[in-house]
Structure 1
Amino acid sequence: MQNFDLNTLVRKNIIALKPYSSARDEFKGEAEVYLDANENPYPSGYNRYPDPLQWKVKELLAQQKEVKAEQIFLGNGSDEAIDLLIRVFCEPNQDSVMITEPTYGMYRVCANINAVAIQNVLLTKDYQLDTEGILKAVTPNTKIIFLCSPNNPTGNLLSVDDISKVLNNFSGLVVVDEAYIDFAGDVSLIKELKKYPNLVILQTFSKAWGLAGLRLGMCFASEAIINLLNKVKYPYNVNIKTQELAAEALLNADSKDRAVAEILSERGQLVDTLNQIPFVIKVYPSDANFVLVAIENASVTYQKLMQQGIIVRDRSTVVLCESSLRITIGTPEENKKLINSLKQI
């Protein structure tokens, strides 16, 4: 966090922006009669606007993650947080973000949508950070470095020491996307937020929590950074049903933990079995709920699996992932069907 100054990173128009104030921003609490938001007064269960800042969910999350509720941003998937971070901190046609490919594709897409340049530093051959390459590539216009750990599509955790080196030697934001962190053990960098004011952590309800259909992402950072995201987000960006079901899930975290344990058990068995298939070249180590598999004629194998109703992800055209498939860990029955199909191929 070399010479880190948040105010110098934020776009000037965002600093000057007067955010929209919704009816539910101006009144908080319970009332007998609501005539302030032009809602339909007849109850349907969803005729009232949701809490624009999702305080109930945030308070439950704050207890689990051991942060303040004010350090949490909730959005329409973590993709919303990625987009907002670029919009808040990167001046179009002037600033840049850095990515470390192979990595999650939405960093590039959001940067392109916002007319923000992309600096790309490849991961090493063992899918770790090239810290020297990253720091050497930094320019005065580099505002954000996106790091995915466990990484998608490779599945491995990035070295904490390498991430710390980047944090300590970069004056912009370092965004660590931990979408798959629940499958990697107790290694989240959320506990480092107090140490690094330039650290931003992304997580999601889509993976371990099994709530991909709700579209709810989490962003953890300093209160100052979260306030900026809240300043530019849409007024009611997370609907009532999503808030209700997320809160219910948080109150029943044991269910998530059991699902994670089962997925990890299946991951181990699937890896062992894949390694016995003759045309599998390599199964890469995984800290996620998927495995990257180097396989002979990967694209052909992908097509043959698809013809049998089994859909995996062909990553053959991704840099450093040549001739590879990304396979999500399914149920025991789904994994068995996959293996049987591969053996037939």
Structure 2
Amino acid sequence: MFDVKNYIRQNVLKLESYSSARDEFGSEASVFLDANENPFGSLNRYPDPKQTRLKQRIAELKGLYRQSIFVGNGSDEAIDLCFRIFCEPGKSEVLSFGPTYGMYKVSAAINDVGYSEIELNDVFQIDFGTAIDRLENSDARLLFLCSPNNPTGNGIVGIEKILSAFKGIVVIDEAYIDFSDEPSWAKRIYEFPNLIVLQTFSKAFGLAAARVGIAISNPEIISWFDKVKPPYNVSSLNQDAVLKRLIDVEKVNSEIEILKVEREKLMSALAEIPSIEKIFPSQANFILIRIDRAESVYEKLIDLGIVVRKRTSQIPNALRITVGTPQENLSLIQTLKQIT
């Protein structure tokens, strides 16, 4: 039987978390003299450290308990907390499937944790013939799985096999799930006690500047996130920005559908360019292509004021293209036709 305490660092198990002034006072008042705040100004008060209103709204939308939601400074804070809660520096190992999002490797290095990638096959899916044996015999504390995957764009199939085979904690990064036809794993956190799901408001909700992400898991795991995080990790401005965006979810869904249509249009237009050797399937808001002389094409686009993402360090001759507005997409296609 899975017991999360077997995976938590010993010093974290003994941790007495910081109790802020707002943690200790949870009701209404008209005079606040407890937190050494400046009494003047419109942004002079500390934010709600528990993000109560925001968590409640997210819980309502996703059909979850509020206690199953951690709100952080982007998904990157949740990724870093996974290392700080579950991994012993200089001792622990984590796994991922690559090519994938680079912050898993960076966070591992920052926290002095060993990092290994299991290579995806030529269609960027898991080769279960070799992966299952490695997972079943692994002592790794964490396994990161990005689906839809960045930078490849495809959803990963067979995740339930991974959850069953791996003894440690499985972190499914769903930054792009809103653009996918596949359901989120968030609704299944109560089935798998070793599952953490990461999501963000940076992509589909258009709030990249606000830097707000969430971790979704069973309440016991989330309680450790809340214990280790800094007391005021998400500002009032950013909490309010998300709450305002969540007022009109229908508008967000409409924008998502527009981007999905534009994704298909862009893929069709890219297919007409002879120098593009392959367009990979996408369930995200970006498209990965393999193009002749990718490095040169990238530099020429930069010179003409168009920025795409060079992924040649991970995948030969690969560029990653974000789906933009119809006019931005048209500008890209016209420029590619001119320079290739």
TM range (shorter): over 0.9
- Counterpart secondary structure, 1:121: strand
Letter in 2 for 1:40: N
TM-score by length of 2: 0.97
Q: Distance in 2 between matches of 1:231 and 1:310?
A: 43
Task: Compare 107-116 and 137-146 and name the one that shifted more.
Answer: 137-146
1:27-46 aligned within 5 A: 27-42=25-40, 44-46=41-43
Residue aligning to 2:326? 332
Q: Distance in 1 between matches of 2:125 and 2:54?
A: 34
The partner residue of 1:252 within 244, 248, 251 is 248
Q: Distance in 2 between matches of 1:41 and 1:236?
A: 18
Letter in 2 for 1:20: Y
Letter in 2 for 1:213: A
Residue aligning to 1:169? 165
- Counterpart secondary structure, 2:154: coil
Residue aligning to 2:113? 116
CA deviation after TM superposition for structure 1 residue 140, in Å: 5.5
- Counterpart secondary structure, 2:71: strand
Question: 8 Å contact 2:138–2:166 — kept in the other structure?
Answer: no
Letter in 1 for 2:286: F
1:1-345 aligned within 5 A: 3-42=1-40, 44-138=41-135, 139=137, 141-159=139-157, 162-185=158-181, 187-318=183-314, 321-345=315-339
Question: 8 Å contact 1:178–1:188 — kept in the other structure?
Answer: yes
CA deviation after TM superposition for structure 1 residue 99, in Å: 1.1
- Counterpart secondary structure, 1:119: strand
CA deviation after TM superposition for structure 1 residue 136, in Å: 2.8
Letter in 1 for 2:223: N
- The superposition leaves residues 239-280 of structure 1 with CA deviations (integer Å, 9 ceiling, x where unpaired) of 000011111111111221111111111111000010011111
Identity %: 46
CA deviation after TM superposition for structure 1 residue 41, in Å: 1.2
- Counterpart secondary structure, 2:119: coil
CA deviation after TM superposition for structure 1 residue 132, in Å: 4.2
**Equivalenced residues, count:** 338
- Counterpart secondary structure, 2:183: coil
Structure 1, unpaired ranges of 5+: none
TM-score by length of 1: 0.96
- Counterpart secondary structure, 1:287: coil
CA deviation after TM superposition for structure 1 residue 33, in Å: 0.9
Q: Distance in 1 between matches of 2:43 and 2:128?
A: 49
Question: 8 Å contact 1:121–1:130 — kept in the other structure?
Answer: no
- Counterpart secondary structure, 2:262: helix
Structure 2, unpaired ranges of 5+: none
Q: Distance in 2 between matches of 1:344 and 1:105?
A: 32
